[in-house]
Chains A and B, each alone.
Chain A
Amino acid sequence: MSKPGKLGEGAFIQCAKCKKIHFANEFEENLRVCSSCGWHHRISAQRRIEITCDANSFEELDQDLKSGNPLDFPDYDEKRVGAEDKTGLLDSIVTGIGRIDGNRVSLAVADFSFMGGSMGSVAGEKVTRTLERGLEKKCPAIVFCATGGARMQEGLLSLMQMAKTTSAAERCNRASIPYICVFTDPTMAGVLASYASVADVILAEPKSMVGFAGLRVSKQAGVSKVPDDFQSAEFAYNHGMIDKIVERKDLKSTLSQLVQLLGGHLLEQQEGDKLTTRGAKK
């Protein structure tokens, strides 16, 4: 998917899918979903948090974690610094504690614009801590995926993050901490084959790319002709891999419902929460 094109002084944005031109402010107000064709354009982690959490409720944590270049991998430092400058982030995922309709959640949100949302040591650690914070603070954990998979530049360290994050999910399972994963465009490879696929509930945004290997690799594996919707959220849904495809505008209310339905048993275990703040609509 190409970046929405800008015309004039940035007051207009063109849909990457149907090419329709929108007023930039209307496009943003519509959560970067094309009002004409419904295409969900990628959004930043910051914007995702704004539209998911109650106003001013999100407290970012572990924002100081950054990768080194443990393998001394060629060009990795340059790529990472470039991504830092472009996004203002130190890695591909933003994590913290927030509230959804008054209910506390531990949140992780991937940002595809940082090296394709790839998972290296830092992203793996931050997802692990997000799930562990759910355990600690007795609240549901929610992870928004947007990733091409494991980060090659950290070699096997990246592969080990698949295990580390899955272990944290397993501990949440045993402690009855609800864990919800939202597949956004794209959710692929090493992330899909680890913590993303073992969530209690899996939601996806429409038309997100969802798959194990890139199409190029799949073709090398002998896949010559694939259905039009191959490796889409709809394909995964039709094969029973996803609970529900939810439009961006409805995600907060769906998450809110799930948090209340699955996390009700945690409320009395939470410390420092006033009942009056809970369940209150924004």
Chain B
Amino acid sequence: MANAVPRTLDEWEKPLRDLEDGITKLKAVAVKEKDDSRAADLKYRIQELQRRHDNYLEVMYSQLGPWEKVLVARAPNRPYMLDYVNQVFEGFVELQGDRRYGQDHAIIGGPAKLNGSPVMVVGHQKGRTIQERQLRNFGYARPEGYRKAIRLFELAQRFSMPVVTLVDTPGADAGLEAESRGISEAIAASMLKMFSLTVPIISVIIGEGGSGGAIGIAIANRVLMFEHSIYSVIAPEGCAAILWRKPEMGPQAAEALKVTAESVLSFQLIDQIIPEPTGGAHRDPASAAQSLKVSLLSNLAELSSLSGPELLNDRANRFRNLGVMAIH
């Protein structure tokens, strides 16, 4: 390719935005146009640009490579956890605090209703504005976030509520404070707790499934991924930095790490891909939310026939068989 590899979704979608700008300008002209035949001509040109735009969008999004998926998964206008919570669930009450040390806003959660039945929703929340990004620590959860999650999982168990987790993090916080308060232990303990529950658990990777920070709340009977989300053992840039000493080789690492939902499904590490609207979830959040709801309901319905002990065993068995080995 002649063009440099795009580093953000914005760069990558530039041709689309150019078309959109063209359409906006023509529309502005068309509104003022008095002459009927010239107005008809403008109308035609707008329709033609719109057709090219839609066509381009469909083609672009049907051929997303691993790196483009990384860009889409990280897009700042992609729906975040609370966007889904507001559209998929009713009456969400956020419960806060780990009752141990402090407050974390990167992992949030609480009870809500899904089609009238109570469930416990826990997930990563990123921020959009500068202030909100800082509040959410850019989606990097601290130990307190995982310990709050553990508390909410215990509540779900006590009150027999299915658990839904929505995963969207670049990774867990690796700073001095997080290390001091045992970020590793917090992640491990959260996984351990999820394995001990006798209620159904469904985890959905909605954006970035970043390494330990992601799997810390992704122990479930069913693990689903949105079509353009990613799930990876390490951030592609981090992998490139370690293996090749070149963080700028993220696109190559994304390819090698097989981070796309399609790849992950082919290794049977997830159970289902939730389709996204043409052009990605960020172009039609309501439709993405609807797909999520349908998927959650059908999976919960399937799990409803299992007893508590069966759910626990099903979850252990699901993860027990993951891995690819040979015999010497």
A interface residue numbers (CB < 8 A to B): 64-68, 70-71, 73-74, 90, 120-122, 124-125, 128, 150, 152, 154-164, 166-167, 169-171, 173-174, 189-190, 192-198, 211-214, 216-218, 221-223, 226-227, 230-231, 235, 239-241
**How far is the CB of A203 from the nearest CB of chain B, in Å?**
15
Q: List, in ascending order, chain B residues with CB within 8 A of A71's CB.
A: 256-258
Say yes or no: B257 contacts A121, CB within 8 Å.
no
Q: Which of B10-18, B38-46, B291-299, B317-325 is near enough to bind chain A?
A: B317-325
Q: Does B192 touch A at the CB level, under 8 Å?
A: yes
Interface string of B264-302 (1 = CB under 8 A from A): 100101000000000000000000000000000000000
Name the residue among A163, A166, A171 with the largest chain B CB count within 10 angstroms.
Answer: A163
Contacts known (A122-B325, A164-B322, A213-B174); A198 close to B192, Cβ less than 8 A: yes
Main secondary structure of the interface of B (DSSP, over half): helix
Partner of A162, one of B191, B239, B242: B191
Q: Which residue of B lies closest to A132 (CB)?
A: B320
CA distance A169 to B147 in the complex (A): 19
In this assembly, does B202 line the interface, its C-beta being within 8 Å of a C-beta of chain A? no
A160 contacts B269, CB within 8 Å? yes
A155-B258, A160-B319 given; A166·B195 CB < 8 A: yes
B96 within 8 A of A: no
Find out whether the CB atom of B269 lies under 8 angstroms from the CB atom of A152. no
Query: Which one of B173, B195, B214, B326 contacts A170 once the chains associate, using CB atoms below 8 Å?
Result: B195
Q: Which residues does chain B contribute within 8 Å of A154, judged by CB atoms?
A: 233, 324
Provided the pairs A64-B328, A162-B191 are in contact, do residues A241 and B185 lie with their beta carbons within 8 angstroms? yes
B71 nearest CB across to chain A (Å):
19
Dominant SS among interface residues on chain A: helix
Across the interface, A163 reaches (CB within 8 A) one of B179, B215, B256, namely: B215
Question: What residues of chain A lie closer than 8 Å to B187, measured between beta carbons?
Answer: 193-194, 197
Count residues of B near A (Cβ-Cβ below 8 Å).
55
8 cross-chain CB contacts under 8 A: A67-B326, A150-B233, A152-B233, A152-B239, A154-B233, A167-B316, A173-B192, A193-B184
Other-chain residue from A157, A164, A222, A231 in contact with B179 (beta carbon distance below 8 A): A231
Q: Is B67's beta carbon under 8 Å from chain A?
A: no
**Inter-chain contact A190/B211, CB cutoff 8 Å:** yes
What is the CB-to-nearest-CB distance from B168 to chain A, in angstroms, rounded to a whole number? 16
Residue of B nearest to A150 (CB): B233
**Would you list which residues of chain B between 127 and 181 have a CB under 8 Å from chain A?**
140, 172-176, 178-181
Answer whether residue B327 sits at the interface, using C-beta atoms and an 8 A cutoff: yes
Residue of A120, A122, A155 touching B257 (CB-CB under 8 A):
A155
Q: Is the CB of B267 within 8 A of A156?
A: yes
Q: Which A residues are in CB contact (< 8 Å) with B323?
A: 120-122, 124-125, 157, 160-161, 164
State A35–B239 Cα separation when bound (angstroms).
38
Are B178 and A212 in contact, with the CB atoms below 8 A? Answer: yes
Q: Specify which of B196, B218, B322 is in contact with A157 (CB 8 Å cutoff).
A: B322
Q: Does B119 contact A (CB under 8 A)?
A: no
Separation of A226 and B174 alpha carbons in the complex (Å): 12
Please tell me if the beta carbons of A163 and B219 are within 8 angstroms of each other in the complex.
Answer: yes
In whole angstroms, what is the CA distance A198 to B219 when docked? 15
- The reply to whether B212 and A217 form a contact with Cβ atoms under 8 Å apart is no
CA distance A163 to B195 in the complex (A): 9
A71-B257, A159-B211 as given contacts; A64 in contact with B327, CB under 8 Å: yes
**B232 nearest CB across to chain A (Å):** 6
For A66, give its contact among B214, B239, B326 (CB under 8 Å): B326
Is B326 in contact with A162, judged by CB distance below 8 angstroms?
no
Q: Which residue of B lies closest to A91 (CB)?
A: B325
Q: When the two chains form the complex, which single residue of B176, B214, B233, B319 contacts A164, counting CB atoms closer than 8 Å? A: B319
The minimal Cβ–Cβ distance linking B14 to chain A, given in whole angstroms, is 28
